[in-house]
Chain A
Amino acid sequence: MKGTGEEVVSLFYIGTAIMLFLAFGLLFIVVTYQRHFFRMKRKEAENMLKVSLESEKNERARIAADLHDGVSGDLSAIKNYLSVLAKKESENKEIFDEIREGVDAALQNTRAVSHNLMPPLLETEGLVPALKGYLESIGAKAQIYFEVTANGAVALPASVAYQLFRVLQELTTNMVKYGNVSKCDINIALNKEALTIDITDDGTPFNFRENLAKPNASGLKNINSRLHAVGGVIVQEEEKQVGNHFTITLKNVNNA
């Protein structure tokens, strides 16, 4: 009887152990496989995002170059012809002057659009001068004092500099549109392989995370995607009564 009892108990323990082993084994395999699959898909999505952002950058550069070399060149030529004609046709001088002003305005707008699409300084001088030039221009129009400081020459790979420029452009555009900002400080610090950008303003406080979750927050989502593509993150420092403080951090800048 004792032997039979031991056999039943052994059968119970071994059977239960095998069943539990199978159950946990199945769950372990599923979780591991799903995690692997999830990572693979995320990597794929990241690569697609990088390719799409790179294509967008190239397309912007091409349109900017076309506008600058094509349309601007043609408008300049028209302007010159008008000057020559105005000298010959003294009777219609006023009409010529008006046409010339119109062509001047079109030329300036074309240059502005071209610069906005791809700031020429970004490729030649880098992020900090391009940013200073851009903020000087919008600051004057929006009556906001932008101060950009950097610890020496911030040499970044072109793709990283471009994405950061777009991120900062989006943030500062938001300040102009909704922020009620009068002063904004941007501090860029590159230490060894990590880059930190501190953005502080004195405008209306807003919660980045909460706004990001809203369906119409395409600009903020854009910021996140661009930063994600270069391996960066944006963190909002503690919310204050007045103003906002964001920190953008990029580790392994040169490998981004």
Chain B
Amino acid sequence: MNIKEILPLIATILAFSPLTITFFRKTNPCFNYEMLAIKPYLWLIFIGAFYELIFTSFLRIPSAYWFTAYTFLEFLALWYFFRELLGLRYMYFFKGTMFIVIVGFLIILYYWEYNIHTTLEAYLLVPILLFVFISSFIWFKDLFNKEIISLWIIPSFYFISGLIIYFSGGFFISLLYDQLKIITGLSETNWLVFVSGLIIMYIMITIGVWKGTEKKP
């Protein structure tokens, strides 16, 4: 096995860990709403990893449709996470983002073709990336106005840090994947950058889930 196979396998295995932790540990009451907010995303990455492992790795079924659907589902899960986290004060921002992404998703579906699906998903990634960055910024801003506690004990800090790193690292590879594949044939090597970001995010989310839960009595 070479690095191109090992890293995706590590990422897939790590994707199972956050949700699995919640089965064996109970939610810390102090972080109840954060843990409830991240639950859909945890389920999504769990199901995503399961799909990739069974359908993509073993059955070798093309996952282009799944990737497109996953991008949209990922947005929905993150939209829910940030909306729960930031509350109703930013409702216009959330409604606006939802509208833009739904319109973008419908356009992508209209123009969808197997050969260009990665580029189309990358276009959808632009508003999602902006949404994650702006929401994270608002969360940090709000946090400093509240009672000061150490960032290292807040599960959401790990979730948000992981998301920022993942989206930042994966943006250009998603955007240029098709060009890299056609022109240089190096897309798989460069794809490892995306997978590395994914691994970092899963580790951060796992730490966050661990911090947000406690040993069952």
A8 and B183 in contact, given A16-B193, A19-B171, A38-B150 (Cβ under 8 angstroms): yes
Taking the complex as formed, is A112 at the interface, i.e. its CB lies under 8 A from any CB of chain B?
Answer: no
- Assembled-state Cα–Cα distance A136/B164 (Å): 64
A11 and B184 in contact, given A23-B165, A38-B150 (Cβ under 8 angstroms): no
Contacts of B171 in A (CB 8 A): 15-16, 19
Contacts of B193 in A (CB 8 A): 16
Interface residues in B, total, Cβ within 8 A = 26
Q: Which residue from A5, A15, A41 sits with its C-beta under 8 Å from B183?
A: A5
- Assembled-state Cα–Cα distance A19/B179 (Å): 19
* Contact across chains for A19 and B183 when beta carbons are under 8 A apart: no
Taking the complex as formed, is A178 at the interface, i.e. its CB lies under 8 A from any CB of chain B?
Answer: no
Q: How many A-B residue pairs have CB under 8 A?
A: 63
Q: Which residue from B144, B172, B186 sits with its C-beta under 8 Å from A37?
A: B144
* Contact across chains for A5 and B165 when beta carbons are under 8 A apart: no
* Contact across chains for A22 and B184 when beta carbons are under 8 A apart: no
- Assembled-state Cα–Cα distance A125/B151 (Å): 47
* Contact across chains for B173 and A16 when beta carbons are under 8 A apart: yes
Contacts of B179 in A (CB 8 A): 8
A38 and B190 in contact, given A8-B179, A20-B165, A27-B161 (Cβ under 8 angstroms): no
- Assembled-state Cα–Cα distance A19/B126 (Å): 13
- Assembled-state Cα–Cα distance A124/B161 (Å): 58
- Assembled-state Cα–Cα distance A67/B193 (Å): 76
Contact with B along A1-12 (1 / 0, CB 8 A): 100110011011
Q: Kindly list 7 other residue pairs between chains A and B, CB separation below 8 angstroms, not including A16-B169, A16-B171, A19-B171.
A: A5-B184, A9-B186, A12-B172, A12-B180, A16-B173, A37-B148, A41-B148
**Sample (27) of A-B pairs whose CB atoms are under 8 Å apart:** A1-B183, A4-B183, A5-B183, A8-B179, A9-B190, A11-B176, A12-B173, A12-B190, A15-B171, A15-B176, A16-B168, A16-B171, A19-B169, A19-B172, A20-B165, A20-B168, A20-B169, A23-B168, A23-B169, A26-B137, A27-B165, A30-B140, A33-B144, A34-B144, A34-B148, A38-B148, A38-B150
A-binding residues in B (CB < 8 A): 136-137, 140, 143-144, 148, 150-151, 161, 164-165, 167-169, 171-173, 175-176, 179-180, 183-184, 186, 190, 193
B-binding residues in A (CB < 8 A): 1, 4-5, 8-9, 11-12, 15-16, 19-20, 22-24, 26-27, 30-31, 33-34, 37-38, 41
